[in-house]
Structure 1
Amino acid sequence: MPCGFLEGCIVPNVEQSKLQARSLLVALEISLASLIGFGLLAIGLGSAAWILSGIAAGAIVYFGDRPFDPDIQPNRNARKAGQLIVGLSIGLSLPIDRLANFASQSLILLGLPIFLMVAGGAIGVLYSRLEKIDLMSGLLATTPGNIGVMSSLAADYGNHIALVSLVQLMRFTTVIFSVPLIANVALPNSTHTVTTFVGQALNVPWQTYAKSSLMITIAVVIVHFATQLNIPLAAFFGAIAVGLGFEFLSILDDLFHVDYPIIFNVIGQILLGITIGEYWGINPRLKFVTVLRAIVPVGMMLIAGLIAAAIIHALTHLSWLSCLLMAAPGGSPEMIAIALTLQQDPEIITIAHIIRLLTINLSLPILLGFAAYQTAHQPSDSSPRHTSKSSSSK
């Protein structure tokens, strides 16, 4: 036999089939999201139309595919690709000469993530008692971090994966849905129409696509090495760094100036939304009462974000919408993408969310240690309402 061993022939074919199936799903999701996105643009929801369409497409496709593949999992690579594409757009949109001006607001920028972390911790304690689950799961459910990271930690510790995913999903989705609605009320003339989008997408010279493709290739290489070094959110931070590098080089020589095609940015936003939708598509069916109780911590996290926004608004000259985008406990790439679309102080909003992401990721060991210590000293006669087996998303 050419392969020598039977498994040597079968395993590559199996892996190739999985890759082809996953690629087909992504293509289907992007196609469906494009149709939904144009529909959202048509009704005037322009500030986050593509992220929302990605959520809807991911949920629909994965919900439909789940009966055929019960073990299907969200496509982490799609979200990384979205973070890379959007991160480049963010880096190119940050005026380097203005970044140093925010040093005077360092206390606010550092205080915001600490406030959100403390608020999330307090809400997690309350939610663990309300739902009668362990403290670890309560804290992982209410910490305003990456949904994939929090769900993975819940899986590693074997604690109520479904509840953690549910609360994190509701937080992400609620923020991403509500912020554009607030933005459309605050800035009714800021949305893009279908005609405007099509005109911008078609009026792009080939040189722009060539430069952007080269920049994306460089970003992929940088992100690969950053991932090997275990840098948190390597795709997002690495792409922002590459975008900033090209922005700096363009100041020295206009040859390096890159006009990022709008179609690339749209694809990136769709990919960001798709992963959130995929989590909805595979989320296990929980009791209605359980879902209803999950609204409590989500609502409290939103209130904490509003309080933080109000404090920032009182201490700075920033608009209320900018303060809301800084403090909103949603996905950082999504909030920054909305800020870029609305042209609402993207520099300080980007810095605020980068600091929040770094603070949360660096604080996770402390959070997990605290939860483990508290769990070890809890009375042994406690009887949680949910078991790990019943709460598992598998």
Structure 2
Amino acid sequence: MNQSVSPVSTLKETINQQIGVAKPQLIGKPIIVLTWEVLLSVPLAIALTKLHFGGISWIFGGIAAGTAILQCCRIFYQHSPRPNRMARKVGMALVGLTVGATNANSDLTSLGAGIPIFIVLTLFLLLCGGFIGYIYSRLSNTNLLTAMLATVPGGVGVMSAIAADYDKNVTLVAMVQAIRVTSVVLLIPFIARTAVGNDWNLPTLSVNSGWLNFDLSQLELLALALPITALIVYVVAIFKIPAGDFFGALLLGLTFNSVLGWLPFVSEINFNPPQLINIIGQTLLGITIGEYWGEKPTFSKRAIGYALMSVVMTLITGAIATILAMQLTSWDWLTCLLVTAPGGAAEMILVALALDHNVEIVTTGHLVRLIAINSSLPLWLFLFRHLDSQSSLEV
């Protein structure tokens, strides 16, 4: 005999279901999650600054905040927000703009003779990354394309997006890339700090130090530069240009003064973005790195062990590339280390900026690497897919 269900009970059940679904959705809204991450990162970064962690404190604070907030969402609300790719794009663009403006008066053309060396170092890192990916694939029984995307130093967001496009294991790619980037971001500053002592470009909260710049002309230039930067991020998002937000904003910062100087009604200008713009960019970069850790995907100990093994091999490759750069150039070892470090371009340039150590060389080296990776990406993908299909046929 069928029992009738009362309309009141049905309505009550529906409301309970809606409340149960709406609560984590509300908590997991990207803007709310990002707001909490930023609010938490500020006191953490200030504390690290007080502990003399130096100009890279803001990215460290962001990493800790991104990890903590996503863990809280996962544990207390049973909801795991996805890493905020747009926040990383904005962070990359802001860092690119400030780094470019900082180097606007530098003579980067004098480094043109060293471009072949930069290309050799980039090819060495890419070839070693492919070889490491092949070893990682064989040992962990992972398909070759996934392993290559996980080990080639191309950035967490870029390689994860490519893995999603080809229906590969996005979580595994993101985990290996995140371990590598985080290891480099954490290790390199400490190595550099040990080498140069406490001679860091320490950020302060004093308005007089340039953390905030209330000069009317600078505010007007900033009001012009930010919408152009936003347009760059928008175009990059439409055309899915790898690392284009950082690269485009950096070029904007490098050429902003000279382009405006060509206008007949504009006198000589010197655009210098306030330190706050760089701090916001660093914080967003750190938050998005931390978010990949906050996801905490379920992997076996064996899978994590193989991932760590591939990262260690990548770091060793970076050390070998540093030695190679020292043999090919007259740069000091710290400059060679920053140029060849298998981390994100934005993060490594930030370290050089914080140390005020040959920023022009480090910027040029990573720009060449970005251009080489982006221009050769279709060829690498074709090669990876071909090798992947060949290995599948053998099985």
TM-score interval (norm. to shorter): 0.7 to 0.9
Residue in 2 aligned with 1:11?
none
The alpha carbon displacement at 1:79 in A equals 0.6
The alpha carbon displacement at 1:137 in A equals 1.3
User: Quick check: 1:57 aligned with 2:52?
Assistant: no
The answer to whether the Cα contact below 8 Å between 1:162 and 1:284 also exists between their aligned partners in 2 is yes
Name the CA distance, whole Å, in 1 between partners of 2:105 and 2:208. Answer: 29
The answer to whether the Cα contact below 8 Å between 1:246 and 1:256 also exists between their aligned partners in 2 is no
Counterparts in 2 of 1:251 and 1:349: CA distance versus 1, 3 Å? farther
Counterparts in 2 of 1:95 and 1:379: CA distance versus 1, 3 Å? closer
User: Quick check: 1:34 aligned with 2:47?
Assistant: no
Residue in 2 aligned with 1:324?
337
360-369 or 298-307: bigger deviation: 360-369
Residue in 2 aligned with 1:260?
273
Counterparts of 1:224-235 in structure 2, within 5 Å, are 224-235=234-245
Counterparts of 1:1-394 in structure 2, within 5 Å, are 21-67=29-75, 68=77, 70=79, 72-96=81-105, 98-192=107-201, 200=209, 204-207=213-216, 208-249=218-259, 255-378=268-391, 382=395
Give secondary structure in 1 for the equivalent of 2:103.
coil
Name the CA distance, whole Å, in 1 between partners of 2:204 and 2:251. Answer: 33
Give secondary structure in 1 for the equivalent of 2:315.
helix
Give secondary structure in 2 for the equivalent of 1:190.
coil
The answer to whether the Cα contact below 8 Å between 1:51 and 1:272 also exists between their aligned partners in 2 is yes
Residue in 1 aligned with 2:8?
none
Name the CA distance, whole Å, in 2 between partners of 1:280 and 1:193. Answer: 27
The alpha carbon displacement at 1:87 in A equals 0.7
The answer to whether the Cα contact below 8 Å between 1:41 and 1:192 also exists between their aligned partners in 2 is no
The alpha carbon displacement at 1:21 in A equals 2.9
The one-letter amino acid of 1:360's match is I
Residues 310-345 of structure 1: per-residue CA shift (max 9 Å, x gap): 111222222211111110011111111111111111
Residue in 2 aligned with 1:4?
none
Counterparts in 2 of 1:254 and 1:185: CA distance versus 1, 3 Å? farther
The one-letter amino acid of 1:336's match is I
153-162 or 188-197: bigger deviation: 188-197
Structure 2, gaps ≥5 residues long: 1-21
TM-score under structure 1 length normalisation: 0.85
The one-letter amino acid of 2:174's match is S
Give secondary structure in 1 for the equivalent of 2:331.
coil
Query: Equivalent pairs: percent with the same residue?
Result: 36
The answer to whether the Cα contact below 8 Å between 1:150 and 1:164 also exists between their aligned partners in 2 is yes
The one-letter amino acid of 2:193's match is N
265-274 or 337-346: bigger deviation: 337-346
253-262 or 172-181: bigger deviation: 253-262
Count, aligned residues: 367
TM-score under structure 2 length normalisation: 0.85
65-74 or 86-95: bigger deviation: 65-74
Give secondary structure in 1 for the equivalent of 2:142.
coil
Name the CA distance, whole Å, in 1 between partners of 2:103 and 2:31. Answer: 33
The one-letter amino acid of 1:49's match is S
The one-letter amino acid of 1:35's match is P
Residues 194-248 of structure 1: per-residue CA shift (max 9 Å, x gap): 7576752566324234432331122223443455455432321221122112232
Name the CA distance, whole Å, in 2 between partners of 1:197 and 1:329. Answer: 34
The one-letter amino acid of 2:257's match is E
The alpha carbon displacement at 1:158 in A equals 3.0
Counterparts in 2 of 1:259 and 1:377: CA distance versus 1, 3 Å? closer
Name the CA distance, whole Å, in 2 between partners of 1:290 and 1:375. Answer: 20
Give secondary structure in 2 for the equivalent of 1:66.
helix
Give secondary structure in 1 for the equivalent of 2:29.
helix
Counterparts in 2 of 1:349 and 1:75: CA distance versus 1, 3 Å? same
Give secondary structure in 2 for the equivalent of 1:344.
coil
The alpha carbon displacement at 1:352 in A equals 1.3
